[in-house]
Structure 1
Amino acid sequence: MKKLLTLLAVIILGVLSLTIVRTWLHQADSQDQLPEQSAAATAELDSAQLDIEAISQRLSEAIQIKTISYSREHKPGPEFNEFISWLKLNYAEVFAQLELTVLNDYTLLLRWEGQSTNSPVLLSAHYDVVPVIPGTAKLWQQPPFSGHVDSTHIWGRGALDDKSAVIALLEATSLMLKQGISPKRTVYLAFTHDEEIGSEKGSKAIAEYLQTNNIKLAWSLDEGSFVLSDMIDGMPMPVASINVAEKGYLNIELSVQGEGGHSSVPPKQTAIGVLSQAVSRVQNAPMEGGLEGVSAEMFDVLSRYMPFRQRFFFANRWLFNSALEKQMSEISFANAMLRTTTAPTMISGGVKENVLPIYTSANINFRLHPRDSVENVVDHVEKVIDDPRVKIQSKEAQEASPVASTQSEGFKLLANASRENFGDVIVTPSITVGGTDSKYYQLVAKDSFRFNPMVIGKEDISGFHGNNERISIENMRLAVLFYARLIQSLEP
């Protein structure tokens, strides 16, 4: 017995020693976040020529033009033509020197001829915006389409999503043209008009145009995540989250047909009761998740900067993986990285308080992790509900995107430009949980990335599709320099 206890103690001591050593080794190398030296010689960009006051004013004017996407059935208003005319007037040199193709009247594709014949890259942003929720304009500190500029910020709908990127891309291009700097590889600049309603006329048309002309992109860059400041607990510096994949989406409608009648003589279960039970079953049986693929790579990077206690668990996933995944599943952000999410979003049924409903329906929205497909999510829902009284119908669906390589040229250039531009940042791959124009660019690009070169904090999040959307003046300066540095860094 004594020998057994001694052996057990040795094993425990050995495991403890191993976990501590692994934790000690699981930390960031200070060299990891330094910018790499590019092999391509680049002309020196004179950033002193950047007139940030003028840039802020131009973004302000862009915000004031109400390019609102209401719905897929709603046609673009005259403001969309006004915005295009405004762009051509304010960036006359860009439109004079780059080749312009207009698709479906409102989406602009500019081609900037490079010095080599290697595969081009595409940099994209959208200029349509979501409406301001009726009755909420009074909650804004500044009127939502005023484009108000104060000493630190530009305010208004589109300041973050996504007119700031449109303006930053054009400002970077204009700055380079004025200084006689041209890209070593052909660059396409895409400005789409319907991203907020599905991109059916915008980025889809761009992808079809490129396919028709046999143009294959080396990689594309579109909106996505940002440089996150104080957004992830335990990080000692901002995190440049370069998204290498995009979740898919699926809407499933559940419906139940009832017999109707008076509420005084109800059946054992009403149509609403059957439907509620089905919704509850689906919500309480989430899709399987796991810390693998992009999610594992992201947390492997982030955890190296965490305090010892948190780092201990990530460094020893072989021992704590199950407990770690369970704990992460309780945190909304982390859970979205681990699995396909389930969100009941709409329910309807009944016309009067004393009338049994004949028909009830509910919508459940799924955001598909790259490991899942539309088909297996539908199969999962059918098995979980297991009730012939519930009709299950798949509505709008989009598979999750392919995962871009973090070892690719595109990712390395984006990481390098981030480190040069933002200084001490942690660069990590991640997943875009919403939808972007990249769902079509991925059809013509070897790799598609999603990243906005701007620093945001917790106070900025509510501005996305919400109230008090704004962007800092400093962010506009950083975004212009990022895009210029990125274009300059392209290898011939």
Structure 2
Amino acid sequence: MQFFETRIVWSIIVGLFIVFSVFWSFPEESEAVVKCPATKPHRPSTFDSHKQTLLRILHSEEFRNASAMKLQAAIRTRTEVYDDDPISVEDDFAYWSKFEKFEHLLRSTFPLFYNKTTLHKVNYHGLVYIWEGSDPSLKPLVLMAHQDTVPVSNITLSQWEHDPFSGDYDGEYVYGRGIADCKDQLIGLLEAAEELIINGFSPRRTVIYSFGFDEEVGGPRNKNAEWLEEKYGKDSMYAVLDEGGINLDTIQGVKMSVPGTAEKGYMDLKIILETPGGHSSIPPKHTSIGIIGEMIVELEKSEFPTYFTEQNPAFWEYVCVAEHSPDMDSSVKKSILRAAHDEKANEIARNYIDVELGKGFVVKSTRALDIISGGVKANALPEYVELTINVRIAMEETVETVVKRIITTIEPVVDKYNLGLAFDLDGHQELKPSKPAGNCLVKVVQAFPPAPLTPTRGNHWNIFSGTILHVYEVVAPDSRGLVVAPGIGSGNTDTKYYWNLTKHIYRYRPGLLPGVYSKEHGINEYIPMDSHLHLIVFYYEYILSVDETDD
């Protein structure tokens, strides 16, 4: 009897030990480890009746060749823009008339689309097409692209394997300036719309197509969003889709699609140094060019701090990578998954992304020293030197914190040479009084903060990310296991003007290659023709799915 009592006692002790072990360990695990947001494929309820159309888009040689010809025509209609373009269209109507030619091309290429939509020209060349839905209670969907492209330098023409404005097509690839950024997106949007019209689709939800004409120079002439806000009001749109994101890539062994659900902030800043002039035969020890050279050294030595927080959608991108990667070291995985609650793990995660992967631009602000000018003559001391810096601002920082850090970096050089110091951000402010030896001005030319975060929970995200998954199941069966995760836009698009219209903004261009692999903005820009067909299928499906849902 004593033997059985002893066994019972020991069973109770062991049981209590197990219960306490679970009690103490499970909360720690559940609180410390974050999970990759799960996404399921989403398809419209009418998919079966539209499937043959999608297969025709993907596999018909007739459709493929006709689509390629539309892309070629868009490339051959040149729409380059430059930083020093006339700021007002009224200043030079003839210069901006290239966009009239482009709109005429669209009108002749897409007659069905023009028949079903109403075109509003905003600031002469901004194109806003409204495809009116039958239910005015539903918020409109906005689909975006831009008409303009970056220029081609004449110096590089000999390095192009295909004339940049010929639109060469070899059956597999289409080549030319602007094909990847982003005339393929603009043409694909209209092709998807015409295929829907051919199939008898009539939207419940209004669909708006908004195409700017100076995105590549920051969009100062883009009034489309302002016009839409006037017409519909604030928070009046269901969602906005524009170019951007990573459409399909393998990251640390994980097949991923990473649409941008936020963008870093943007700032152009000048450091202006003015010093007394004089004859170069009697120079001071350091001219203003030498002094600003020291500032450049200090600026390039300095590093912005890194962040790995849930304020940045790249946090979730790397959580998804860590959760699914067959290649990532297990200790790094553990650190990334615990980074939200563990300071040491967060430091390891930041260091891994910044140093080991070389992707620091997604976890910190960055600065690029892009333009320097100064001096007018070989035998005259330079009296004026100007350095232009481009800054992309991390989600966790502000325009003000970045300016303060830059000033702090150059301040020792200012003090060393006994200079005055001021800065101009919404008004001139003197930090150190003017000095005979010279004066330094830090001037913010243009700036805007990081974009608001797009929610990645709920029906909007489920339909958008689920459509990506379903489309790749249809167009690329070998992409099974694809993970869709939110990401940060390192560049900036015209969506910065649309923040008032909706909190659901997605920066994403479907296809096979991320833009950087397509040499966008570079020599020999191209896209695989298959990518373009995938883009058409995505927008065809997404419009159908959004049309079925209520707000």
Q: 1:288 aligns with which of 305, 319, 340?
A: 305
Amino acid of the residue matched to residue 80 of structure 2? Answer: I
- Hey, what does 2:262 align to over in structure 1? 245
Amino acid of the residue matched to residue 159 of structure 1? Answer: I
Amino acid of the residue matched to residue 308 of structure 2? Answer: L
CA distance in 1, matches of 2:277, 2:220: 40
Q: 2:545 aligns with which of 475, 485, 489?
A: 489
CA distance in 2, matches of 1:243, 1:461: 17
CA distance in 2, matches of 1:195, 1:177: 29
SS across alignment from 1:189 = strand
Cα shift at 1:430 = 0.9
- Hey, what does 2:89 align to over in structure 1? none
Note if 1:272 corresponds to 2:282. no
Q: 1:397 aligns with which of 430, 433, 447?
A: 447
Q: 1:433 aligns with which of 443, 467, 490?
A: 490
- Hey, what does 1:35 align to over in structure 2? 41
Q: 1:338 aligns with which of 342, 363, 368?
A: 363
Q: 1:194 aligns with which of 187, 202, 214?
A: 214
**Alpha-carbon deviations, 1:220-263, whole Å to 9, x = none?**
01111231324x3x2232x2111011122112211222223344
**Count of aligned pairs between the two proteins:** 466
Cα shift at 1:69 = 1.4
Cα shift at 1:334 = 2.1
Change (3 A) 1:442 1:297: same
Amino acid of the residue matched to residue 468 of structure 1? Answer: N
Cα shift at 1:395 = 1.1
Amino acid of the residue matched to residue 35 of structure 1? Answer: P
- Hey, what does 2:83 align to over in structure 1? 71
CA distance in 2, matches of 1:28, 1:152: 39
- Hey, what does 2:426 align to over in structure 1? none
Q: 2:460 aligns with which of 406, 410, 433?
A: 410
Change (3 A) 1:438 1:93: same
Structure 2 unaligned regions, length at least 5: 1-20, 58-62, 87-91, 415-419, 421-438, 474-479
The answer to which of 434-443 and 275-284 deviates more is 275-284
The Cα RMSD (Å) is 2.7
2:35/2:337 contact within 8 Å kept: no
Change (3 A) 1:28 1:393: closer
Q: 2:152 aligns with which of 132, 147, 166?
A: 132
The answer to which of 129-138 and 210-219 deviates more is 210-219
1:226/1:454 contact within 8 Å kept: no
SS across alignment from 1:366 = strand
1:42/1:489 contact within 8 Å kept: no
Amino acid of the residue matched to residue 362 of structure 1? Answer: L
Quick one: percent identity of the two aligned structures? 26
CA distance in 2, matches of 1:390, 1:374: 19
Q: 2:228 aligns with which of 203, 207, 210?
A: 210
CA distance in 1, matches of 2:494, 2:336: 34
1:27/1:304 contact within 8 Å kept: no
The answer to which of 391-400 and 311-320 deviates more is 311-320
2:160/2:523 contact within 8 Å kept: yes
The answer to which of 320-329 and 160-169 deviates more is 320-329
CA distance in 2, matches of 1:143, 1:332: 35
Change (3 A) 1:351 1:72: closer
- Hey, what does 2:3 align to over in structure 1? none
- Hey, what does 1:113 align to over in structure 2? 132
CA distance in 2, matches of 1:44, 1:200: 44
CA distance in 1, matches of 2:82, 2:42: 44
**Alpha-carbon deviations, 1:303-357, whole Å to 9, x = none?**
2122251424323432432133134323686211111111111122234555432
TM-score by length of 2: 0.78
Structure 1 unaligned regions, length at least 5: 1-13
Cα shift at 1:85 = 1.1
Q: 2:105 aligns with which of 75, 78, 86?
A: 86
The answer to which of 280-289 and 179-188 deviates more is 280-289
CA distance in 1, matches of 2:357, 2:444: 25
CA distance in 1, matches of 2:85, 2:72: 28
Amino acid of the residue matched to residue 444 of structure 2? Answer: S
Note if 1:103 corresponds to 2:153. no
Which of the pair is proportionally richer in helix?
Answer: 2
2:264/2:392 contact within 8 Å kept: yes
2:241/2:505 contact within 8 Å kept: yes
- Hey, what does 1:464 align to over in structure 2? 520
1:159/1:471 contact within 8 Å kept: yes
- Hey, what does 2:333 align to over in structure 1? 311
2:162/2:176 contact within 8 Å kept: yes
CA distance in 2, matches of 1:37, 1:148: 35
Note if 1:47 corresponds to 2:103. no
**Alpha-carbon deviations, 1:59-101, whole Å to 9, x = none?**
1111111111123534544332122111111110111111221
SS across alignment from 1:62 = helix
CA distance in 1, matches of 2:196, 2:142: 17
**Alpha-carbon deviations, 1:194-228, whole Å to 9, x = none?**
211222333xx211111211341121011112313
Note if 1:367 corresponds to 2:392. yes
Cα shift at 1:159 = 0.9
**Alpha-carbon deviations, 1:280-307, whole Å to 9, x = none?**
3233333322111222122111221222
**Alpha-carbon deviations, 1:433-469, whole Å to 9, x = none?**
11211011122222211100112158x5362111111
Flag the structure with larger Rg. 2
2:308/2:350 contact within 8 Å kept: yes
Cα shift at 1:485 = 0.3
